[in-house]
Every structure is written in C-alpha cells, then in structure tokens.
Structure 1
C-alpha cells in the first residue's frame, strides 16, 4: 500500500536537510546548528538528538568535531551514496524517456526467508513493480541505484539483474497497469499538489524571498517530494493515462526548487 504522508518526521527532515544543504557545508554540521535549522520547521531539540542517534546507529551519520572543536555530525560514505543516487530521481527536470527495463529475478532459500522479505521491501522502496512473485521490474535507468542498494544490504547474491524490453503478449501499457498500482501512485501525486501548489501560488504573488521563510517552505516541500520519485519510478508518459498528474507535481516541485532553494541557503549557512 502506498502512503506518502504530509506528516514530516524529525528523522526524515534531518535526511532532507543534509540532502538540500548540510552535505555542502565544509566539515561537520554542529549539533547546535542542526537544532537551530530543525527548529525552523517545528522540530524540538530532544527530537533532533534522538533522531540523530538513530541515524548514527544505522551508520548514516558519524560524530565529528568542527575545526573549532564543536561537537557535530557528518555523513558517512554510505549516506552520501544514498543522497547521490536520490539526486538523479529527485531533481530530474525532464520526463523520462523509454529506455527499456531492468528485471530483478531472485531466489532466497526458505531457511533465509527473512532476507526474502527484506529484498521485496527494498525493491518496492526502489519503485519496482511486480511482474510475478520472483520477478520485479523497473525502468532501466534505475539499475545503478538498485545495484548499489542490493550490494549495501548484502542481498546481491540472491538476485540476478537483467536489462531488456517488453515484447508481449499483453500491450505494454496494460502490463504496466498490472505491475504497478497506478491509481495509488496518482493519488500520491494529487496529495502533493493539494498541499504544495498553493504554497507555490503564494510565492508567485510575492516579489521578496526572505531566507528563513524560503528555507522552511523549501525544506518541507522537498521532504514531501523526495519520496514521490520512489513511489512513482518515472514510467514513460506513453504508458500512462492521459490525465496523469505526475508531470504537474514535478513542475510544482521544480518551480519551488528554483524559487526557494538558493534563498533558503542563506538561512542554512551554505
């Protein structure tokens, strides 16, 4: 079941903050600065500290000292790879071309069925659709990110990846509607538009762009948007319904990004 919520968790906002600004700061981000930046989007200090601790346990954030000796956190190499993989989806400006498909074919022994569950969950999180229970499919451009993810999680030995095209017998547009829940994906786009399109309209009526307001609205928009390119893996427009809302939601995010990101960087200290 697809669920892209407008409720922003502290942990998600911290990841979004590093993706938008924190990774471009020279050296670690001081803890006090993290607390200041998260307070601007409604997260209190205890929630910041507990969320950072969870991200540290997952190996995504590393404790470090700034050049002034202040306690702070920097991203691990794994976290940087995750953000770089995400950039190719989150900031894609153009509608994707039809470049074929990547297939993930897996077999996990019954004695390791927990890994089967993890594998299915990760493929779903990457945006794969289900062709059959052991064969998952996604647009071919997702191959590199899929390879990185499966290797990072130690799941590569159970999976073979193939690249190819769909030759029949069902028309590809009909098959895509079977492989993905298009109605649920469309609903996620509509939910984003319902909240973020009015924000864009308000900014379009303004001539000023105060840094703190720009930072707040941009971070919240990015935190909502960055999940959508995983819910919707970017299927070719020719295979989607004519009234597909994905292009509209992408345009709203792109406009918010262009208007707010650089202005918000002033508040973020980048």
Structure 2
C-alpha cells in the first residue's frame, strides 16, 4: 500500500509541476511565451505522466486480492511485483509517447504561433503546423491519453475496463460476506480508490465530450478550464483522500500539527 501511495504521489507531483508553474506565470506575470523545444518537452511529459497515472490506478485496483484472498496478499503483491508493475506502466507510457512526440515535433512550424490552451496540448499544437496533422492525430486516436477528435482511447479505455472488472469482483466478494461490519470495512478499504478514480476520470470525460461538441456550442475557455481541472484536481486531491483514509498517515499528520501548535504557544508565552 505504501509503495503504491509513494509512486502515486511522485506521479502527481510531476504532473502538477509540468503545468502549474507556467499557468501561474501566465496569470500573474502575463508571460505567455514558451519556446518550441520547451513546448514539445511539455507535450511529452504531460501525456506520459497521464498514461502512467491511469496505469497506476489500474495496478491499485488489485486491492481485489487483499479482499478476496487476504491470506495470500503478501505472497502475491510483493514489493518486487509492485516494482515490476511500475516499470511496465512507465515503459508503456514511453513506448506510446515517443513516436507521438516525434511526429508532432517534426511538423513544419513557421514563426511564432499562439497555442489556444494554458499548456502545450498535443492537438492544439499540431493544428498550428503548416501540414496535415492527421498522422499524429490518427496515432493519438488509436492509443493516446487525450485526443480532441473522437476521443476514443485504447490506453485509458482498456484500463477503465479492467478497473471496472476488478471492482465488480470486489463487490461480489463484499456482499458475499455474512457480517455487516465486515462488509462496511471492506467497502471502506476501496472507497478511497473509487473516489480517486472518479476525480481523475470524470473531469477527463467531461473535457472529452465538451471538446467533441466544439467551440460553437461550448466556449473555448470552458474547454480549457475543464482540461486544466483534469490535470490539477487529482494531484491536489489524492494526498488528502489517501491521507485521511490511512490511519498511520492521519495520526502522523495530527502529531506534527499538534507539535507545531504546542511549540508556537510556548514561543508566544
């Protein structure tokens, strides 16, 4: 559990760090300039981090093992298995993003351009090229994380399907328990994970359908806002959700807060 939370926190920090500083610079200083190299780098790592996060949520859905086979939990989900899944998830993101970034970066761009977004989103950048962006759009349609046209994603779609199957097995196991207390405790075990997935996938789905409707129906600033929420809400919410849910983290946080308040009161007196 702690290995999964550690990796999730690391991915969330990376994801937020890729977009938030530039957003703050745009809103506070009016500095909306970004170089081509920095823009393509942001495209690569933003979408790669998104792919890693959806894969990590899939890996965390294996809490089914803890519920249905608690005696085998430590034998099945060893640290080596967790590390192996993390490596596979990362490699999957790299394998997908490398060709996509290469295709976008090799499109012909002439002079300065204005990206109609708060960060370098793939399709928003590809549309600025003086060439047909269809190859990269088609590649992104087949397997990408965020696609502005049709928005069908094998990467996310397969992950969501496996997550739904895992939680279906969890519900079957939970309602097969005889004791009500055991049912409530077991549901609470995966409740945090369900909330995190809802915060991650629902804003993404909203941005998908809004983009599909087009700017003639939904204003462009609404589309940009929904996509920004999709990248910002999960990294800021996950620590709170899992921190409140995990007893050890909650107790440690409360201990630090009370210690700080105690030291502050002593300084004041």
Output the TM-score relative to the length of structure 2.
0.29
Output the TM-score relative to the length of structure 1.
0.29
Greater RCO (CA < 8 Å, at least 6 residues apart): 1
Higher share in helix: 2
Larger Rg: 2
